[in-house]
Amino acid sequence: MLNVLIVDDSLIIRKNVRKYVTTLGHNVAGEAQNGAQAIEACRKLKPELITMDITMPDMDGITAVKSIREFDKDVNIIMVTSHGQEEMIVSSLKAGAKGYILKPVSEEKLAKSIATIYKNENLDVNSVDDELMDD
Amino acid sequence: MATKTAGEIEQEILSPMLERTVSFLTEDMQISVTSNNIEIVSPNQVELKKNTAMIGTGGSIQVIITMSYDDKLLEKLVEVFLEGEEAPEDEIDEIRESVSSEIVNTIVGNALTNPLDGTTLSITPPILIYEAKSLFKHKSSKIATAIVNTEFGDMLLTVIGPKESFADTLNFKEL
């Protein structure tokens, strides 16, 4: 089971990702609405996984990833973004993100992304199905 | 570089957005689109619907994009986003705003590239527009609109840009 920090300025996305995380058998450690809050929450909550929106007010997701990497090399970060933002996806991955989910977010996409990152680890969850794990 | 007419602008700027809007509604939201009608003109005024979200682009082309929804369509979109869950009464307004913003963010982020060089345009976080009823065109600006008709009402897409943003390479046809 993973402790997950959800970062998105959209209430509906935070609500849905929270639901998916829980359904997939993980724990929501906390939520943040912009990059600055994400950095603070990451220091405080020490999550194992972060879902991070890219386009947010005050501080965007890429800047937040760079800052988080300065003090936490281990947390896995999945960016949540749109098809058209390929350059930002590349920047995010260079900054230290481990993967990305294209909007609209779904439980299946999140499960697949988590499974890809943790493919060699036993997460002790009961909802990530074998087919996704094999992808 | 050859100049481009309003018809080409329709195809190269608004059409990808319209195409993505239709696929978003039909495939992601399971909402039937009954017809769509792109009208590329330079109207002096565009009537906004009550529910409107706006997003800006940055980079080589700077435009403002608005998406307006009929009430019934937005209610349906909220219902789909909630995936069958009941929204708490004290959160429903914020959820409605959140859905409205998220859709413009998703569609524009998915659709927008510079038609001249294919590069991606950066986007601002969405902004909600309250109380505004109309957009008025300044003489140096350009407005392009597209209307998507669905089984739950209409969605109005508007692109607003200063003519100078395009003038070097795109020749807008004065109508």
3-class secondary structure per residue, chain B = CCCCCHHHHHHHHHHHHHHHHHHHHHHHCCCCEEEEEEECCCCCEEECCCEEEEEEEECCCCCEEEEEECHHHHHHHHHHHHCCCCCCCCCHHHHHHHHHHHHHHHHHHHHCECCCCCCECEECCCEEECCCCEEECCCCEEEEEEEEEECCEEEEEEEEEECHHHHCCCCCCCC
pLDDT of residue B18: 85
pLDDT of residue A128: 38
pLDDT of residue A30: 97
pLDDT of residue A86: 74
Query: Which of A24-33, B76-85, B116-125, B133-142 comes out lowest in average pLDDT?
Result: B133-142
Q: Which of B83, B98, B120 lies at the smallest CB-CB distance from A85?
A: B120
- Sequence length of chain B is 175
**With 70 as the cut, is the pLDDT of residue B6 above it?**
no
The residue in chain A having the minimum alpha-carbon distance to the alpha carbon of residue B113 is A84
Cβ atoms B157, B67 nearer than 8 A: yes
Q: Which of A10, A56, A59, A63 to mutate to probe the B interface, most B CBs <10 Å?
A: A10
Residues of A in contact with B113 (CB under 8 A): 84
Domain count, chain A: 1
pLDDT of residue B168: 46
pLDDT of residue B172: 38
Average pLDDT value for residue range B158-173: 55
CATH number for the domain including A98? 3.40.50.2300
Task: Identify the H or E element spanning A80.
Answer: strand A76-81
**With 90 as the cut, is the pLDDT of residue B171 above it?**
no
Instruction: Tell me how far apart the alpha carbons of residues B22 and B14 are, in angstroms, rounded to a whole number.
Output: 12
> Tokens standing for A99?
């993967």
**With 90 as the cut, is the pLDDT of residue B132 above it?**
no
CATH (residue range B6-167)? 3.40.1550.10
B55 or B35: whose pLDDT is higher?
Answer: B55
pLDDT interval class at B123 (50, 70, 90): confident
Give me the residues of chain A with pLDDT under 50, please.
126-135
Tens-digit pLDDT profile for residues B26-47? 999 999 999 866 655 566 777 8
Q: Which of A10, A16, A84 lies at the smallest CB-CB distance from B109?
A: A84
Range of the domain at A8: 3-134
Average pLDDT value for residue range B88-106: 90
B92 or B173: whose pLDDT is higher?
Answer: B92
* Interface confidence (ipTM) of the complex: 0.77
pLDDT of residue B12: 63
Do B95 and A86 lie within an 8 Å CB cutoff?
no
Average pLDDT value for residue range B49-68: 83
The residue in chain A having the minimum alpha-carbon distance to the alpha carbon of residue B96 is A12
Q: Which residues of A touch B (CB under 8 A)?
A: 9-13, 15-16, 19, 55-57, 81-88, 103-104
Query: What are the structural domain ranges in chain B?
Result: 6-167
Strand partners, A102: A81
pLDDT of residue B134: 76
pLDDT of residue A127: 38
